[in-house]
Amino acid sequence: MLHHPHHIRAFTLFCLFWAILSVIRVCITGTTEYMGFVWNLILALLPYFFAGFAVQKSWILHYGNVFLWFIFFPNSLYLWTDFVHLGEHPEMLHFDIVYISVMAIAGIICGFASLEILHTYWNQKFHKKIAWTLVSLSMIFWIYGVYIGRFLRLNSWDLIDSPLLVLHEIWMMTITNGGSLIITESHRIAEATRYSAGMTSLSTFLILYFSLFMIFYASLYHIRRAR
C-alpha cells in the first residue's frame, strides 16, 4: 500500500511542467540532447514504490523492497548534480536553470517521500533516535552513491550487472579520496573524463551534500509533523 498519494500528484505536476519545458527547449535549440533526463526521472520515481511495498507485513516483501529502495534511492538525489550541464549553452542559461531545477525538485519529492515512509516505519519499530541514526547513515551511503554515479558514471544497474568491476572501481576511488578514477569500460571514458575535470574530493562532496539534504529533509519532516 502506497502512502501519501499527494506526493505522486506533486511529482506528476513537476513532470508535466518539465515536459512542457522540454518541448519548448527542443523548439528553440532544435536538439533533443537533454531528453535522456527522462530516464533519470523514471529512476528517481522507483524508490517511492519500493518504499511503499516495503512496509507490507510479508517479511519477504519487506526486506526485498528495502534492499531495492536502498540501492535505487541515490537516483533521486543524483538529479541535483545535473546542474553541471549549466553553461553548455550560454544562451539558454536561465532557461536551463529552471529546466534542471524542475527535474531536481521532482526527484527530491519522490526521494524524500520514500524516505519518510521508511522513517515512519522505523519510528514504530525502534526508538526515534535509532530511526534518525538509520536515516543519517543511509543518507551518507546515498550521497556516496551519487558521487559514484557522477564521477565514475556508474548507476544502480551496473552493481547488478558487473558487481566485481564496480566494487574494484569504487575501492580505488575511495582509497584515494576521489583523487584517482579508474574507468575500465570504454563507453564511459569520455563522460567520466568530462565530468571529473572539476571534481571535488570524496570527503568534501559527502560533507556538502549531507549537510544540504539532511537540513532539507529534517526541516520538511518536522514541518509536516507540526501540522
User: What average pLDDT is seen over the chain?
Assistant: 82
Instruction: Provide mean pLDDT across the span 185-214.
Output: 76
User: Is residue 6 over pLDDT 80?
Assistant: no
Q: What is the pLDDT of residue 1?
A: 40
User: Is residue 80 over pLDDT 60?
Assistant: yes
The x, y and z cell numbers of residue 185, run together, are 569500460
User: Is residue 207 over pLDDT 80?
Assistant: yes
Instruction: Provide mean pLDDT across the span 51-77.
Output: 82
Question: What is the Cα 107 distance to its own chain's centre?
Answer: 7
Q: What is the pLDDT of residue 2?
A: 44
Q: 202 and 177 in contact (C-beta within 8 Å)? A: yes
User: Which one of 10-14, 63-67, 115-119, 223-227 scores highest in mean pLDDT?
Assistant: 115-119
Choose the weakest-confidence range: 64-68, 114-118, 199-203. Answer: 199-203
Alpha carbon distance 154, 148 (integer Å): 6
Q: What is the pLDDT of residue 92?
A: 87
User: Is residue 187 over pLDDT 60?
Assistant: no
User: Is residue 85 over pLDDT 50?
Assistant: yes
The x, y and z cell numbers of residue 173, run together, are 576511488
Which amino acid does the sequence have at 80? W
User: Is residue 72 over pLDDT 80?
Assistant: yes
Instruction: Provide mean pLDDT across the span 64-79.
Output: 88
Cα–Cα–Cα angle for 147, 152, 154, nearest 5°? 90
User: Is residue 208 over pLDDT 70?
Assistant: yes
Q: 86 and 93 in contact (C-beta within 8 Å)? A: yes
141 or 53, which is more confident: 141
Q: Report how far apart the first and last C-alpha atoms of the chain are (Å, whole number).
A: 23
Helix, strand counts (H, E) of the chain? 10, 0
**Local confidence band at 211 (pLDDT 50, 70, 90 cut-offs):** very high
What b/e string do you get for 58-70 counting C-beta neighbours within 10 Å, with b at 16 or more? eeeeeeebbebbb
What is the pTM assigned to this prediction?
0.81
User: Which one of 55-69, 98-112, 161-175 scores highest in mean pLDDT?
Assistant: 98-112
Q: 89 and 29 in contact (C-beta within 8 Å)? A: yes
* Predicted confidence (pLDDT) per residue in 147-163, tens digit: 888 888 776 667 777 77
User: Is residue 212 over pLDDT 70?
Assistant: yes
